[in-house]
C-alpha cells in the first residue's frame, strides 16, 4: 500500500507533538543492527524483561521510540519491533511477550548472550510543558509507559497510570512496572477492578492541563478517544503495528490519520490521540 503525500494537515498533526520527521537516510542508518550484551533477564509468566548493556543506544533514545531486534539462532529473516521499556544509565530494557516462534526464542535468552538491535527508531512522546500526566495502557501496550513515567517524574511532573489486562495470564505484566500511582483493571477480575482500562478512567480526575498518553490495541485506543474527547491537553497515542523494516521503506505499517495515510514506524509510532482514524 502506498503512502499519501505529506500535505499541510499532516505536517500540522506532527508539529502538534513537537516532532520533526527524520530524513529517510538517517532513519535507514539507525536501522543498521549492532550487537549488545544481555545483563539481566526477568520473567513474568509469558512475558520477559531483558536489560542490555547499550550505552550508545541509551544516550540517543527517548520515551516512545522503539528498536528492531534480530531473533537469535537463525531461521528468521525479519527483526521484531519492541518499544523501549526502560532506559537507566547505559542499560536499555525491552519487554517481550512470547507469541510466535521468534518472540519465544527471544524470551529464552540468558545473561551474557548478545542480541542484534537496530535503533532507536521512530519519534517519541512530546514531553514539552507536561506537568500532569495520565498514562493509559492495555496488555503489552503498557511496555513504553515505564520509560515515559520515569522521564516525566525526573522532570517533576505528576504521573498517574491506568493499565488494563485481559486475564490472569496477562496480569503478570503488572509486576514489571514500578509506577507509584498505578491502578489496574482486568476483564476476568483476577487483579484490581473487574472491567477494562476505560472503566478505570472514571476514577481519575482529568484536568484541562492533564496530558493523556495512550498505548495499546486499536479498539482500546478508540474507546479512550471516545471517553476523553474534549478532556486533557495535547493527548498522545503510541500505536502498535506489524513491521518488517522499521525505517519506512516497506510501507507495511500504514494507518489512517486525519492528515492521510502515515507509517507507524517513521511518522509515528506516536501521534496526536485525536488524529488517529479508527473504524
Residue 70 pLDDT greater than 80, yes or no: yes
pTM reported for the whole predicted model: 0.88
pLDDT computed for residue 231 by the predictor? 87
Task: Give the whole-angstrom CA distance, residue 242 versus residue 35.
Answer: 23
pLDDT computed for residue 244 by the predictor? 66
Give the chain's mean pLDDT. 86
Instruction: Please say whether the beta carbons of 52 and 39 come within 8 A.
Output: yes
Mean pLDDT over 214-242 rounds to: 90
CATH number of the 24-121 domain: 2.40.30.10
pLDDT computed for residue 79 by the predictor? 84
Mean pLDDT over 34-42 rounds to: 96
Residue 69 pLDDT greater than 70, yes or no: yes
Task: Give the whole-angstrom CA distance, residue 37 versus residue 116.
Answer: 9
Residue 12 pLDDT greater than 50, yes or no: no
pLDDT computed for residue 264 by the predictor? 87
Q: How many residues comprise the chain?
A: 279
Residue 144 C-alpha cell reads as 513504553
Amino acid at each position: 500500500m502506498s503512502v499519501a503525500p505529506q500535505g499541510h494537515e499532516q505536517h500540522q498533526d506532527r508539529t502538534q507533538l513537537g516532532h520533526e520527521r527524520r530524513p529517510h537516510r538517517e532513519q535507514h542508518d539507525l536501522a543498521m543492527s549492532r550487537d549488545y550484551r544481555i545483563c539481566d533477564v526477568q520473567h513474568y509468566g509469558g512475558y520477559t524483561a531483558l536489560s542490555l548493556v547499550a550505552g550508545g543506544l541509551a544516550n540517543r533514545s527517548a520515551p516512545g521510540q522503539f528498536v528492531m531486534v534480530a531473533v537469535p539462532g537463525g531461521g528468521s529473516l525479519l527483526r521484531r519491533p519492541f518499544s523501549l521499556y526502560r532506559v537507566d544509565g547505559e542499560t536499555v530494557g525491552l519487554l517481550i511477550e512470547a507469541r510466535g516462534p521468534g518472540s519465544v526464542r527471544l524470551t529464552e535468552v540468558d545473561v551474557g548472550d548478545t542480541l542484534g538491535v537496530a535503533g532507536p527508531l521512530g519519534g517519541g512522546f512530546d514531553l514539552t510543558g507536561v506537568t500532569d500526566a495520565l498514562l493509559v495502557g492495555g496488555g503489552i501496550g503498557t511496555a513504553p509507559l515505564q520509560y515515559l513515567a520515569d522521564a516525566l517524574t525526573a522532570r517533576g511532573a505528576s504521573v498517574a497510570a491506568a493499565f488494563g489486562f485481559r486475564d490472569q495470564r496477562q496480569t503478570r505484566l503488572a509486576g514489571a512496572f514500578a509506577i507509584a500511582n498505578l491502578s489496574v483493571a482486568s476483564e476476568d477480575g483476577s487483579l484490581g477492578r473487574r472491567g477494562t482500562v476505560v472503566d478505570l478512567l472514571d476514577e481519575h480526575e482529568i484536568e484541562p492541563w492533564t496530558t493523556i498518553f495512550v498505548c495499546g490495541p486499536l479498539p482500546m485506543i478508540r474507546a479512550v478517544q471516545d471517553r476523553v474527547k474534549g478532556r486533557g491537553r495535547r493527548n498522545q497515542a503510541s500505536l502498535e503495528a506489524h513491521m518488517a523494516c522499521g525505517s519506512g521503506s516497506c510501507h507495511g505499517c500504514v494507518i489512517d490519520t486525519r492528515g492521510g495515510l502515515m507509517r507507524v514506524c517513521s511518522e509515528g509510532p506516536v501521534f496526536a490521540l485525536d488524529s488517529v482514524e479508527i473504524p
